[in-house]
Structure 1
Amino acid sequence: MKLSILMPVYNELATLQTAVKDVLSVNYPCEIELVIVDDGSTDGTRALYADIETDPQVRVQLQPSNAGKGAAIRAAAEIATGDYVIICDADLEYRPNEIPGLLQPVLDGEATVVYGTRTFGSHNAYSYLYVLGNRGVTLAANVLFNCYISDLETCFKLMPRDLYRSLDIRSAGFGMEAEVTGKILRRGLRPYEVPITYRARSREEGKKLTWRDGVEAIWILLRERTRRVA
């Protein structure tokens, strides 16, 4: 088994090198590759890739302009060569050393899709509205698809590469999280959930998600739930 770790990057000069180091220093139970797609960074991030690309486990693709997280991940999935893929942002909110824990249910034959589920407390959630929005979007998915998942917006989504490609995700921005989950639930797949550690960064540290992304996520879930089968 080979795992492709997909890392979308946009203006992460302060965190990218640490994020890459953290990903590559993990003791994985299988072969891995790190696929980085830079989504038009303008803050000097691109100057870092000359050193990063010297590692044979790393592949980098530079997009000509910023098109959104969903577009970056779609590009990464297209060039990935692993049997499975997982998304790992470069913002240091997630811990790559917990990825093997998400792999284990797959290796044990217990799951096809695995989500890393976050818990929120005073030490890891920068605002009440952010947590409330995440819970609201997740609740909408549970009601619409008559299921129970704990964290729709988690970055850590592990699944077969071919499954991800077949979902044909078209949401360019953060709405891709809702589209991925909506399409998976629509197919009757239920993610296996594994608890993970999380530390949300603040607006000042570069947090990009806004309330508009939550509204878009609910719209996408409604669209996927009511969409006619072709």
Structure 2
Amino acid sequence: MKLSILMPVFNEQHRLEEALKQALDVRYPCEIELVVVDDGSTDRTGEILRGATDARLRPIFHPANRGKGAAIKTAVAEATGEYMVILDADLEYDPNDIPRLLAPVLDGQAEVVYGNRVFGSHSSFSFWYVMGNKGVTTAANMLYNCYLSDLETCFKLMPVALYRSLEIRSRGFGMEAEVTGKLLRRRVRPYEVAITYHARTREEGKKITWRDGVQALWILLRERLRRPPAAATTTAVPA
């Protein structure tokens, strides 16, 4: 099995080198590639990427900023692995958790695995950010009659072919809700694994806002009301 780690990047010159080092230093239980999409950065991000020499790193460049969803779409199109996981470059997530996400897949227990963040005073910069995340996740649970713990997690591991089949249209942060809504509509219930998390502050570059939460709610409702495809995938994670 080969895992494609997909990293969307926008103006992360202060964190990118460390993010790349952390991702590539992990001892993975399978072959990996790190597909990094520079989404039109205007700082030294592109220069840092062009100077990287690890053979597992595949840099791709957008000429202008198009949003996280668009960067992931580009990365997925270029991925050569059977499975994929998204890893942001902001150092909020620990790539050492990725082997733990892989374990249920390698053991044959799951096809889709989400990293479940445990929020605490040391790991979240804002009460309202956590409540917003819980509100969006609760809405998904009510709309789709499921029990997810963390819809907005960056760590979503699944087959590359499955992600491509979802045909994600959202260009920005709304892609997180769209991915989950489309999976749940197909009766795919993600397996959840606890992960570590440390949120950065607005001053450190946190980009998501309350508007993204409102958009996520709209996307979840839209996908719930959408007529299902003629031949929907119904494979679910065993209980």
> What secondary structure sits across from 1:4 in the alignment?
strand
Q: RMSD over aligned Cα, in angstroms?
A: 0.6
1:50 Cα deviation after fit: 2.1
Give the aligned partner of residue 221 of structure 1: 220
Give the aligned partner of residue 96 of structure 1: 95
Whether 1:27 aligns to 2:27 is yes
Superposed counterparts of 1:24-173, under 5 Å: 24-52=24-52, 54-173=53-172
Q: Which whole-Å CA distance do the structure 1 matches of 2:50 and 2:13 have between them? A: 14
Q: Which whole-Å CA distance do the structure 2 matches of 1:43 and 1:198 have between them? A: 26
Look up the equivalent residue of 1:183 and give its one-letter code: K
* Cα deviation 1:39-88 (Å, max 9, x = unaligned): 00002211112221x21101011001000000000000000000000000
Moved beyond 2 Å, runs of 4+: none
Is contact 2:50–2:59 with CA below 8 Å preserved after alignment?
no
Give the aligned partner of residue 183 of structure 2: 184
Is contact 2:200–2:206 with CA below 8 Å preserved after alignment?
yes
1:38 Cα deviation after fit: 0.6
Q: Which whole-Å CA distance do the structure 2 matches of 1:119 and 1:34 have between them? A: 26
Is contact 2:11–2:44 with CA below 8 Å preserved after alignment?
yes
Is contact 2:136–2:217 with CA below 8 Å preserved after alignment?
yes
Look up the equivalent residue of 2:47 and give its one-letter code: A
Is contact 2:116–2:153 with CA below 8 Å preserved after alignment?
yes
Q: Which whole-Å CA distance do the structure 2 matches of 1:142 and 1:211 have between them? A: 20
Q: Which whole-Å CA distance do the structure 1 matches of 2:16 and 2:183 have between them? A: 30
Q: Count residues in correspondence.
A: 229
Structure 2 alignment gaps of length 5 or more: 230-239
1:228 Cα deviation after fit: 1.3
Q: Which whole-Å CA distance do the structure 2 matches of 1:43 and 1:120 have between them? A: 31
* Cα deviation 1:184-205 (Å, max 9, x = unaligned): 0000000000000000000000
Is contact 2:84–2:158 with CA below 8 Å preserved after alignment?
yes
Look up the equivalent residue of 1:87 and give its one-letter code: I
Q: Which whole-Å CA distance do the structure 1 matches of 2:228 and 2:133 have between them? A: 28
Structure 1 alignment gaps of length 5 or more: none
Give the aligned partner of residue 237 of structure 2: none
Give the aligned partner of residue 2 of structure 1: 2
Percent identical residues: 68
Q: Which whole-Å CA distance do the structure 1 matches of 2:58 and 2:161 have between them? A: 19
1:129 Cα deviation after fit: 0.5
Whether 1:12 aligns to 2:27 is no
> What secondary structure sits across from 1:48 in the alignment?
helix
